């Protein structure tokens, strides 16, 4: 595996060697420093056996040589002094246990990556090949590889869990004759294997073990994408320390963490949706198979609120000198990428009632042992909060759907993004109808309208994207495959354009809609409940879902569907599947009521636009119907197909629907019309959209530049100069390529 991948264009490498050791629990202990824009502290990792160890028998004598893609040369770290502190001494950088303190002179000990670089013992640097032997015959040190990027690693040490008292209540009786290293590994193996109903005791044990002293430093090194750790003289994963502590701090430029200001100019920091996931927040195992629980203690100034994707709302603990400590935890194993933090001057708003409150109880089955399981934290753009509640409601429904598809059930191969986004998009409509308490016929009409909108978006996207990025299962027969160590890549994972594509949402949605309509919703949705029950807490591939679906239906009622033809037609081919083309042709011939209503209004606007003079307009003044936000979006999309709209028509269009007061989806289409027809009176509205709806405005920059109008191009450049400092890196890069 080439570790020097282009971070702007290539696939995302998942470097962790999960076949040998799997992180079962993380304990983070961090301080938030807005002055230097870093999170600093330590993380303790508790390991269980990796996938390969599970597949092998204990008597196996086979050894494994690491592939060349995982070959590294280590620097040997010298001991790093951590000053002892009096227990009565307090610093806001300490919290409830000691932190390493480095003075100015210590900066000389950092390499270019910010890692503690000790080169005294170069003669001890090992061979570039390391044996990943899980038996007893390895000759080289075992190398633990973690996903890591843009972190300053200060120190790595083994944790002396054997020094923690009273663990024998929850673990097997210690083998007092065993070597201390083996005893520590046995304790952690027993701890991570505790049953789910003992989660409280397990969490307490993790907490106490994470506070245990270190018992020896470990050798470490890093490159662009990973942190590599070894213990001299330990040749196997089985004998490698199963509890390690890593002292580190993030970097201001790290892509997992966004440091910015809120609307009132107050500092805030959050992690959300980074292409590289959380590897620039903490060293971790990124492959989806690395399902783990976690707990975190985060300290910040008392004026800030710390929110995290924990299972319960945290109550802060006051510390001295104006600092507060916040503690969160998760007891359901999930990929490390689901860990989220947001620190800022947040205000809690509690609406009295909401139709969304009951969704998680009435729509799909939940975790039997935890009936209040739900998305622990949801990020919404401020763009969803303007206009009516429609856009915010549908987006919330989409994110709530991820509680099942994305969190409770995840994709085993991240290239199969449709398993998360396609399901969430399909269920979004079901949830939104439930939230509005619509009768069945109105719910169906609304869903048909939204299907029409998505069809337009899918057509537009497929016309303007490379075929390679239109495929829902790009790895085809190799989907889910990893190297012998567990490492793999996410195809197009670092392509900044991928983040703005909706093909996985839209094509996945239409596939599920096709299956539900073909097999019958009365068959499909009861099956979906069973599927969620069976695969809750597991990772799946497309064929897992499709095979179980078709096996649950008698062969004579499958309408000729098979896993093979669904995969071939929908998942592994670019473009629009034949079945979808045929469905949409039928819908064009017989549109639903809400779509017909929009078509009638479009015809009125075309007639208005063609009227020659004022006298004629007064004689036959058109009366326009009231439309829903989705209908207005569709109307504007159809009007975008008109070659020319006069300034008078655009002015009346704006007044009729109060477009500047509508939600962001409507205003985006309105801005497209303004740009296409160079309606100068509304240029300020385009400028406002680009400044206040940054993520949704990315596409408009391209429209402004291809307009070949100097004034519009200048508007694009001026707006970008104003907002680029607040944009995420991927968005800024895409816009830069449009403008320059």
> For the segment 441-490, what is each residue's pLDDT rounded down to a tens digit?
999 999 999 999 999 999 999 998 899 899 999 999 999 998 999 999 88
Q: Where are the strands (E) in 384-509, listed by range?
A: 409-411, 488-490
Residue 374: strand, helix, or coil:
coil
| 588 burial type by CB count under 10 A (0-12 exposed, 13-18 middle, 19+ buried) | exposed
pLDDT at residue 423 tops 90: yes
**pLDDT one-digit tens code per residue, 134-150:** 333 445 899 999 999 99
Average pLDDT on 95-112 reads 34
State the Cα–Cα distance between residues 11 and 364, nearest whole angstrom.
35
The pLDDT value recorded for residue 121 is: 36
Three-class HEC string of 642-704: CCCCCHHHHHHHHHHHCHHHCCHHHHHHHHHHHHHCCCHHHHHHHHHHHHHCCCCCHHHHHHH
The pLDDT value recorded for residue 133 is: 38
State the Cα–Cα distance between residues 501 and 461, nearest whole angstrom.
7
Question: Do residues 34 and 302 lie in contact, with contact meaning Cβ atoms separated by under 8 Å?
Answer: no
The pLDDT value recorded for residue 93 is: 36
The pLDDT value recorded for residue 366 is: 34
The pLDDT value recorded for residue 220 is: 97
Give 132's pLDDT tier (boundaries 50, 70, 90): very low
Average pLDDT on 569-578 reads 95
Average pLDDT on 425-449 reads 95
pLDDT at residue 261 tops 50: yes
The pLDDT value recorded for residue 352 is: 64
Strand partners, 28: 43, 296
Residue 106: strand, helix, or coil:
helix
> What percent helix, strand, coil does the chain show, rounded to 5?
40, 15, 40
Q: Model-level pTM?
A: 0.83
pLDDT at residue 322 tops 60: yes
Question: Angle 443-448-449 (CA atoms, 0-180°, nearest 5)?
Answer: 100
**pLDDT one-digit tens code per residue, 323-373:** 999 999 999 998 899 899 999 999 887 766 655 555 544 444 333 333 734
pLDDT at residue 98 tops 60: no
Active-site positions read 399
**pLDDT one-digit tens code per residue, 528-540:** 999 999 999 999 9
Neighbours of 696 (CB within 10 A): 19
Question: Do residues 456 and 595 lie in contact, with contact meaning Cβ atoms separated by under 8 Å?
Answer: no
Q: Taking phi first (over 0 means left), then psi (-120 to 50 degrees means alpha), and beta for anything else, what does residue 494 get?
A: alpha
Least confident of 91-100, 379-388, 650-659: 91-100
Compute the residue count for the chain.
740
The pLDDT value recorded for residue 53 is: 54
Residue 247: strand, helix, or coil:
strand
State the Cα–Cα distance between residues 177 and 74, nearest whole angstrom.
33
Handedness of CA 512, 513, 515, 516 (dihedral sign): positive
Residue 632: strand, helix, or coil:
helix
Identify how many contiguous H helices and E strands the chain contains and give both numbers: 21, 19
Average pLDDT on 399-403 reads 91
Question: Do residues 410 and 334 lie in contact, with contact meaning Cβ atoms separated by under 8 Å?
Answer: yes
The pLDDT value recorded for residue 354 is: 59
Q: DSSP secondary-structure letter at 553?
A: S
**pLDDT one-digit tens code per residue, 188-203:** 999 999 998 999 999 9
DSSP track, 64-83:
-BPPGGG---PPPPPP----
pLDDT at residue 92 tops 90: no
Pairing of strands 409-411, 538-540: parallel
pLDDT at residue 726 tops 90: no
Handedness of CA 690, 691, 692, 696 (dihedral sign): positive
**pLDDT one-digit tens code per residue, 506-516:** 999 999 999 99
Average pLDDT on 543-564 reads 93
Average pLDDT on 117-129 reads 34
pLDDT at residue 186 tops 70: yes
The pLDDT value recorded for residue 50 is: 79
Average pLDDT on 414-441 reads 95
The pLDDT value recorded for residue 315 is: 86
Average pLDDT, the chain: 83
State the Cα–Cα distance between residues 406 and 399, nearest whole angstrom.
9
State the Cα–Cα distance between residues 66 and 54, nearest whole angstrom.
18
Residue 8: strand, helix, or coil:
coil
The pLDDT value recorded for residue 63 is: 35
Average pLDDT on 169-187 reads 81
State the Cα–Cα distance between residues 301 and 31, nearest whole angstrom.
9
Average pLDDT on 638-661 reads 95
Neighbours of 33 (CB within 10 A): 18
State the Cα–Cα distance between residues 539 and 408, nearest whole angstrom.
9
The CA-atom distances, in angstroms, between 304 and each of 30, 282, 318 are 14, 21, 12
Average pLDDT on 590-616 reads 86
| Nearest alpha-carbon partner for 127 in 70, 64, 75, 73 | 73
State the Cα–Cα distance between residues 623 and 657, nearest whole angstrom.
12
Question: Do residues 15 and 226 lie in contact, with contact meaning Cβ atoms separated by under 8 Å?
Answer: yes
pLDDT at residue 557 tops 90: no
Residue 284: strand, helix, or coil:
strand
State the Cα–Cα distance between residues 666 and 681, nearest whole angstrom.
18
State the Cα–Cα distance between residues 243 and 161, nearest whole angstrom.
8
Give 35's pLDDT tier (boundaries 50, 70, 90): very high
pLDDT at residue 651 tops 90: yes
Average pLDDT on 89-100 reads 32
| 58 burial type by CB count under 10 A (0-12 exposed, 13-18 middle, 19+ buried) | exposed
Pairing of strands 267-270, 219-222: unpaired
Pairing of strands 38-49, 243-250: antiparallel
State the Cα–Cα distance between residues 676 and 347, nearest whole angstrom.
40
pLDDT at residue 616 tops 80: no
pLDDT at residue 95 tops 50: no
State the Cα–Cα distance between residues 278 and 286, nearest whole angstrom.
8
Q: What is the CA radius of gyration of the chain?
A: 28
Helix (H) or strand (E) holding 110: none
Residue 67: strand, helix, or coil:
coil
Least confident of 51-55, 130-134, 551-555, 652-656: 130-134
Give 122's pLDDT tier (boundaries 50, 70, 90): very low
Pairing of strands 291-301, 323-335: antiparallel
């Amino acid at each position: 595996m080439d570790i020097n991948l282009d971070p702007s264009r290539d696939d995302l490498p998942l470097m962790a060697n999960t076949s040998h050791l799997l992180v079962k629990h993380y304990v983070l202990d961090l301080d938030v420093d807005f002055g230097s824009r870093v999170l600093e502290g330590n993380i303790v990792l508790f390991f269980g056996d990796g996938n390969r160890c599970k597949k092998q028998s204990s008597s196996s004598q086979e050894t494994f040589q690491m592939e060349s893609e995982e070959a590294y040369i280590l620097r040997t770290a010298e001991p790093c002094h951590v000053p002892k502190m009096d227990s009565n001494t307090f610093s806001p950088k300490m919290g409830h246990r000691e932190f390493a303190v480095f003075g100015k002179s210590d900066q000389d000990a950092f390499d270019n990556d910010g890692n503690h670089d000790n080169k005294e013992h170069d003669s001890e640097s090992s061979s570039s090949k390391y044996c990943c032997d899980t038996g007893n015959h390895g000759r080289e040190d075992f190398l633990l590889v973690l996903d890591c990027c843009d972190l300053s690693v200060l120190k790595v040490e083994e944790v002396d869990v054997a020094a923690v008292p009273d663990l024998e209540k929850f673990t097997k009786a210690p083998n007092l004759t065993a070597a201390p290293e083996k005893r520590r590994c046995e304790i952690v193996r027993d701890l991570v294997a505790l049953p789910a109903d003992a989660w409280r005791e397990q969490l307490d044990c993790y907490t106490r073990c994470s506070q245990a002293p270190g018992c020896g430093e470990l050798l470490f090194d890093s490159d662009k994408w990973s942190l590599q750790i070894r213990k001299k003289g330990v040749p196997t994963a089985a004998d490698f320390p199963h509890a390690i502590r890593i002292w580190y701090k993030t970097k201001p430029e790290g892509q997992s963490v966004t440091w910015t200001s809120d609307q009132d100019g107050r500092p805030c920091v959050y992690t959300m949706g980074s292409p590289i996931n959380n590897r620039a927040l903490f060293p971790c195992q990124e492959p989806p198979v690395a399902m783990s629980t976690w707990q975190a203690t985060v300290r910040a100034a008392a004026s800030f609120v710390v929110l995290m994707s924990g299972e319960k709302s945290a109550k802060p603990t006051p510390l001295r000198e104006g600092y507060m400590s916040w503690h969160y935890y998760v007891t359901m194993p999930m990929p490390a990428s689901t860990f989220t933090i947001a620190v800022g001057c947040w205000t809690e708003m509690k609406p009295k009632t909401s139709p969304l409150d009951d969704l998680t109880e009435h729509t799909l089955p939940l975790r039997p042992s935890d009936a209040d399981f739900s998305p622990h934290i949801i990020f919404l753009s401020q763009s969803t909060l303007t206009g009516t509640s429609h856009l915010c409601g549908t987006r919330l429904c989409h994110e709530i759907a991820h509680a099942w598809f994305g969190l409770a059930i995840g994709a085993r191969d991240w290239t199969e993004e449709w398993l998360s986004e396609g399901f969430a998009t399909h269920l979004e409509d079901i949830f939104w109808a439930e939230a509005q308490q619509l009768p069945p016929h109105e719910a169906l009409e609304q869903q048909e309208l939204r299907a029409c909108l998505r069809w337009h978006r899918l057509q537009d996207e497929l016309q303007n994207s490379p075929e390679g990025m239109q495929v829902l299962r790009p790895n085809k027969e190799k989907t889910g495959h990893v190297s012998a160590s567990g490492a793999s890549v996410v195809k197009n994972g670092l392509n900044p354009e991928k983040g703005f594509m909706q093909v996985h949402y839209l094509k996945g949605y239409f596939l599920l809609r096709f299956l539900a309509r073909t097999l019958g919703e009365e068959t499909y949705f009861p099956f979906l409940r069973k599927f969620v029950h069976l695969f809750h807490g597991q990772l799946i591939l497309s064929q897992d879902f499709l095979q179980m679906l078709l096996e649950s239906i008698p062969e004579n009622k499958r309408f000729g569907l098979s896993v093979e033809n669904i995969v071939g037609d929908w998942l592994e081919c670019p473009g629009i599947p034949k079945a979808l083309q045929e469905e949409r042709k039928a819908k064009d011939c017989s549109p639903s009521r809400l779509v017909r209503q929009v078509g009638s209004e479009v015809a009125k606007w075309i007639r208005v636009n063609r009227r020659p003079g004022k006298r004629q307009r007064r004689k036959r003044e058109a009366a326009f119907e009231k439309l829903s936000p989705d209908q207005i979006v569709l109307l504007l999309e159809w009007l975008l197909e008109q070659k020319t709209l006069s300034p008078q028509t655009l002015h009346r269009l704006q007044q009729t629907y109060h477009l500047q007061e509508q939600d962001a989806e409507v205003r985006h289409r309105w801005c497209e019309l303004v740009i296409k027809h160079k309606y100068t009176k509304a240029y300020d509205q385009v400028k406002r959209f680009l400044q206040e709806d940054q993520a949704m405005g990315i596409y408009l920059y391209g429209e402004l530049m291809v307009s070949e109008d100097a004034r519009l191009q200048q508007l694009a450049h001026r707006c970008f100069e104003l907002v680029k400092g607040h944009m995420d890196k991927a968005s800024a890069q895409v816009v830069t390529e449009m403008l320059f």
